Structure formats: C-alpha cells, structure tokens
Amino acid sequence: MLYINDDKFEKLKDETLVVNKIESKNNITGLASIDKPWMKWYPKEAYQDKIADKTMWQVLEHNAKDFLDYNALIYEGTIINYKKLLEEIEKVAISMKELGIKKGDHVIICMPNVPEFVYIFYALNKIGAIPNLIEPRTNAKRILDYIKISNSKYMFMVDLCYQNIQKIADESDLKKIISISPSESLPLAKKNVYNILHRKVKTHGRYIDYQDFLSLNVGKEKVSTSAFQKDATAVVVYTSGTSGVPKGVELRNETYNGQNLQIKYSGISPKKGEIFMGNVPFFSAYGSSSGMHNALSNGVAIYLIPSPKLDKFPKYVLKTESNHIMASPRHFEILNEYLKRHPRKDLSYVKNFVSGGDKIVEPHEIDMNETFSKVNAPKVKKGLGSTEHGGGFTTTSNDFNNKIGSVGIPLAQNIVKIVDINTKKELKYGEIGEIYVASITHANGYLNRQDLTDDAFFEEDGLVWFRTGDLGYIDEDGVVFFCDRISRAIMRPDGHTVSLLPIENAISKSKYVKSCAVVGIKPNLETAGELPMAFIVLKEGIDIKEAQTEIKSLCEEFIPERERPAWFRYVDELPYTLMEKVDYIKLSQLGKEIANLNTLVIDGRISLEKTKSKRLSLTNNKK
C-alpha cells in the first residue's frame, strides 16, 4: 500500500495529533488507531498544520482583510459585504458592553439564520462572552431548563418566540431580553410587507427592542478584543440526543477553528467568492461551525435561509446557485425526486453536496448519485459527526474513499478506532464495534454535568477520546462505515442482538418503497426482549399486497431469519424531528400501540408469522 506521507513525522505539539510513519504493508497491525490507513488520502501538510491561537472573532477579523469588498451575507435581496459585516459586529459588541454583558457571561441566542444571528454570535466571542445556542421552536419548559443550566442573564430572541418566552421569563433570572424581528435586515419594501403581516412586539420591562439596543453604542468607543485562552469554553450548543436528557455541549474556539483547519484538506473546502447555502440552522454545531464559521473565514458568501421548508429544498438549490450545500439525507432524497421529474436542469455550479446528521440507506445513495450525474452535479459526500466535535469528524474527501454505504475517512488530525462493546479492546479491520474518536475539535464536556462528561470522554496517551455511541467498522483503506446507533440495536427474547439499519437497507432496495424505518417492539408484556417492526412508506399508487411480496423476498435474501421484521406497518409518512432526522422515539411509541400482542409463543420461541398488513396514518390515526 503506497502512502502519500512517506517521510518521517515528528510528534506535533499542542492540538496536533501524533502521526506515525507507516514503513510498509508488513508493519500494518490491523488496528486503525496505530496504522492510520487514512493517511494516504492526505498531503503531509494536513498533519503539520496547526490551529491558530486565536478566537473565532480574531480569525474572522484577520482573514476578512483579504476580502472586505466580497459578499458575506445574502438575505432576501439584502447583500452585506465583509466590511459591513465587521462594522455591524463592532456595533453590537459595544451595545453589549453598555448593556452589562461581560467576559465569561453565558448569553442565550434563540434565533434562526438571519444576519443579526451572525453579528451577535461574533460580538459575544469578541468580548469573551459565551453564546448559548437554542432552537427557536424549543418548548418553553425546555428553554427554561437551558437558561438555568447556563445561569444566563441575557437573551437575544427572534420576536416570533415572544409568547413562548413570556411563559417562563418570570421563572428565570434573565435581566434583559432583546427582541429581534426577522425583518431587521430586509430591503425596505419587504420589511414593510412583513411588518403589516406580523405585529411588532411591544417591548417593556426586561424586554428591549433591537434598535433600542443598538442605540446604546452611539458615541461610545470600540470594545477591546478579549484575549484567546487555550481550551476555554466559547460556545454552548444544547442537545438532548437520543436520551432525552438536556445537555449543554461546551465547544471551544479550537473546535470551530479546528474544523476550518481540517476542512481545508478534506476536498470540500470553499474558496473566496463562492456561495454557501445557509439552510442548516446556525443554532446547531454543524451549522455554526462547519457551515457559518468555515464559510465566513474563507471569504464565502452565505445565502441565508431563515425558515427553510423541506419541500422547498430543490427550489433553494436552483434559486441560490450555491456552490456548497450541506443538508440531511432527507433533503437530498427530495432533490433526487425533483430532478427525476425535471431532468433538464443543470447543476454544474454545485461543487459539493455534503450530507450529514443521519444515514443514507445504500439504495437511495446509488439512485441519487445516478440522478445527480445526469445534471452535472457531484456525488453526495457523506460524513459522520457529533455536536461534541462541532460537526463532522469523518468525511468523504474524494470519489475513491466515497464508498457506497460509508461515511468517509477521519478528518486529517483525527484518529478513529473501533472498540468491542464488552471488552473495550480495539477491533481489527472489518469488525463491528463502537466508534471512538480522538479529535482536535473535541468539546470540553457537558455544562455543569460532570457525570455525563465522564461517561462520554476519557483521556489516554495524551489524547481526549469520545465514545460516540455509534456502531461501525473501518476497512483497510481507512474508510469508516456506520452501522447503527448502539441505542437502536435491540435484543430479541432469545438474547440475540439485532442491528436495525441492515433491515432498512434491505427493504429500501424495493422499487415500491419510498422510505423505511425499523424500531424494536416488545412482542407482549410478559416477554423480555424486542422484535423488529418495519414502518414503510410506499411510492404513490403502489398496492400493499404487491409490495409486501417483494419486501418479504428482499428480507429473506439479505436478512438472517431471526433478524427479520416481526411486523410490517405501512404509513403515509415517517415522523421527523426538528432537525429532519427520523423520529424513532415517536415510532417506538406508535409501535407499542399497534403491536400484535397475540403473537404466538410456541415451545418458548416467538413465532415470526406476520400480522395482516394494514396502512396506517401517523398524522390522523394513532392506533
């Protein structure tokens, strides 16, 4: 095996991981963390480069000097160049200081992708305060949890959240809430229309209108930039993950700047003057780090989409003519179907389709790549990541490591290994276990939750390792394959463990199936263990009986007998979370309601006789 990096590597200090020279194929141990087979995909510089000792604001301010006249933000007809962007950030920083926000304060940002989000985010970083990013559609009680976890005294909110925030404001310690209309940066004509359709929030007491907030900076001197502090918490992103427990992930300046450094060598790096589609919410780590900060640090214009609609995704791709587009698998599936109906569309301006946040089932990946090639668009590049790393820690850097079903190779200064769930020993190539990652972009942990931090992170040989909770394996090329979340693997009543993603892949091979999701359901109240239940969305006009014949045949061909679904349920659509991931929790709840509780138990074994097929609606029929 030939490696691009064939000269001697020294141990790099600080945040740069150790890289060992691989002399020859005979030296390969079969352990990915030692062999680092992904090294061959990167140039030597990818391992020698270092994260700058700068804050995010310092990186933006420094880099922007090279492209002050370039477009930075495009928002419903308003174009903001980098010079204007820096000026607005300075104004906001001054007003923050006058309001009383100081270094180390946690400040809530509860806003969509509008220019003011960007100003506020970097202004807080400039003065050394810590943005706490919240999804605006989060329910009031959960927002209160986040405010209390962070001990936040200040909040910047989109005014559409006023009714929700008002419910919990008195229970919080918030001193000031700055109300911001999405119309602030709209062109005058669009602003007038918006203000006619949406009643302006009457600010009083602790509530301050954004324009009144900005007036605080009039006649005041610039705010000095807070100095960079190694490993200081710079951003908190809230997530409940699959556990439902609210967690504040403490990300560092090194998290965001480290993403920039590694993306530069990943094959998906944007270049000055290009356009990035700003549809992934900035309140997510993926959106604010791999998206917003990476784009703005490189002189790229962000086409802001404040309230993206899933079914409008193809329209955004065509209208914005963005060069770099990040989205979920579901978005790309919708684009795929649209392009099949409009095959003459040309997408040669797209340089990168990057899918993250959820899996792409293999048949869908093959199909969409064929469709995209017909319109001169690139193959979908995939990655695996986590909020705890500010976005992806693997990516498909080129067509050679963009293997079907994979999530690519580790970013250059990351190490990934596969660990046996029980023995905690590292496994060899092709063996399935839990994915561990050591990354220069690791989080500090979970805000005020040392117990959760200790469960997820540990130090070994000078590296900070993270237990991802994902099942997967690595091949000899260093390409990582995601199999499933450990939490989605179920144990049958006979003690056999079943991974659910392979079942979804098999069913999705059917020409009749639009989408599919599988969950584990108890066969009856007395029996321990679970059996797979498949929820299937058929394409329009498809007969269930005809489809079921092919689906059963595919399961028999690709799935071992005792891992096949015990139930098939046909639904109009699958439920999705706010982040456009399949809502497996909701499916599990529904599955418990509709499971066949009369499943036969013969000689201690569960009969896999399928119940009568029935089409169900997740929206109108709960039983």
pLDDT digits (tens, 9 = 90+) for 237-283: 998 654 556 799 999 999 999 999 999 999 888 999 999 999 999 99
**Chain-centroid distance, C-alpha 473:** 21
**Chain-centroid distance, C-alpha 2:** 33
Alpha helices (runs of H) in 395-543, residue ranges in sequence order: 450-456, 501-507
Could you tell me whether strands 106-110 and 78-81 are parallel, antiparallel, or unpaired per DSSP bridges?
Answer: unpaired
Mean pLDDT for the stretch of residues 171-187: 95
Q: How far is the CA of 89 from the CAs of 58, 86, 115, in angstroms?
A: 12, 5, 10
DSSP tag of 563: G
Measured at the CA of 262, the angle between CA 259 and CA 263, to 5 degrees, comes to: 80
Q: With contact defined as beta carbons under 8 Å apart, do 608 and 567 qualify?
A: no
Amino acid identity, position 401: N
Task: Label residues 90-107 b or e (16+ Cβ within 10 Å = b).
Answer: bbbbbbbbebebeeebbb
At 545 the pLDDT is: 87
Q: Out of 425-434, 569-578, 605-614, give the one with best mean pLDDT.
A: 425-434
Dist. CA 550–CA 536, nearest whole Å? 13
At 397 the pLDDT is: 84
Q: How confident is the model at residue 295 (pLDDT cuts 50, 70, 90)?
A: very high
**Chain-centroid distance, C-alpha 97:** 32
Closest CA to 536 of 546, 547, 524: 547
Q: Picking from 112-121, 242-251, 285-294, 594-603, which range would have the lowest pLDDT averaged per residue? A: 594-603
Q: With contact defined as beta carbons under 8 Å apart, do 438 and 245 qualify?
A: no
Mean pLDDT for the stretch of residues 160-179: 94
- Helices 313-320, 329-341: axis angle to 10 degrees equals 80
At 379 the pLDDT is: 95
Could you tell me which residue, 597 or 398, shows the higher pLDDT?
Answer: 398
Contacts of 338 (CB under 8 A, 6+ apart): 314
H or E stretch covering 82 = helix 82-99
At 589 the pLDDT is: 84
Closest CA to 402 of 468, 295, 478, 327: 478
Q: How confident is the model at residue 81 (pLDDT cuts 50, 70, 90)?
A: very high
- pLDDT over 50 at 92, yes or no: yes
Query: Within 10 Å of residue 440's Cβ, how many Cβ atoms?
Result: 26
At 195 the pLDDT is: 82
Calculate the average pLDDT of the chain.
Answer: 87
Amino acid identity, position 508: S
Helix (H, G, I), strand (E, B) or coil at 225: coil
Q: How confident is the model at residue 16 (pLDDT cuts 50, 70, 90)?
A: very low
pLDDT digits (tens, 9 = 90+) for 302-351: 999 999 998 999 999 999 999 999 999 989 999 999 999 988 889 999 99
Q: Report how far apart the first and last C-alpha atoms of the chain are (Å, whole number).
A: 57
Could you tell me whether strands 497-498 and 490-491 are parallel, antiparallel, or unpaired per DSSP bridges?
Answer: antiparallel
- pLDDT over 70 at 24, yes or no: no
Helix (H, G, I), strand (E, B) or coil at 421: coil
Query: Within 10 Å of residue 345's Cβ, how many Cβ atoms?
Result: 15
Dist. CA 237–CA 239, nearest whole Å? 7
pLDDT digits (tens, 9 = 90+) for 383-441: 999 999 999 999 998 888 999 999 999 999 999 999 999 999 999 999 999 999 999 99
At 597 the pLDDT is: 41
Contacts of 155 (CB under 8 A, 6+ apart): 107, 108, 109, 110, 147, 165, 174, 176, 177, 178
Alpha helices (runs of H) in 264-396, residue ranges in sequence order: 285, 294-297, 313-320, 329-341, 362-374
Could you tell me which residue, 61 or 524, shows the higher pLDDT?
Answer: 61
**Chain-centroid distance, C-alpha 202:** 35
Nearest-Å Rg of the Cα atoms of the chain is 25
Q: With contact defined as beta carbons under 8 Å apart, do 299 and 272 qualify?
A: yes
At 610 the pLDDT is: 38
pLDDT digits (tens, 9 = 90+) for 444-494: 999 999 999 999 999 998 999 999 999 999 999 999 999 888 888 888 887
Q: With contact defined as beta carbons under 8 Å apart, do 144 and 168 qualify?
A: yes
At 293 the pLDDT is: 98
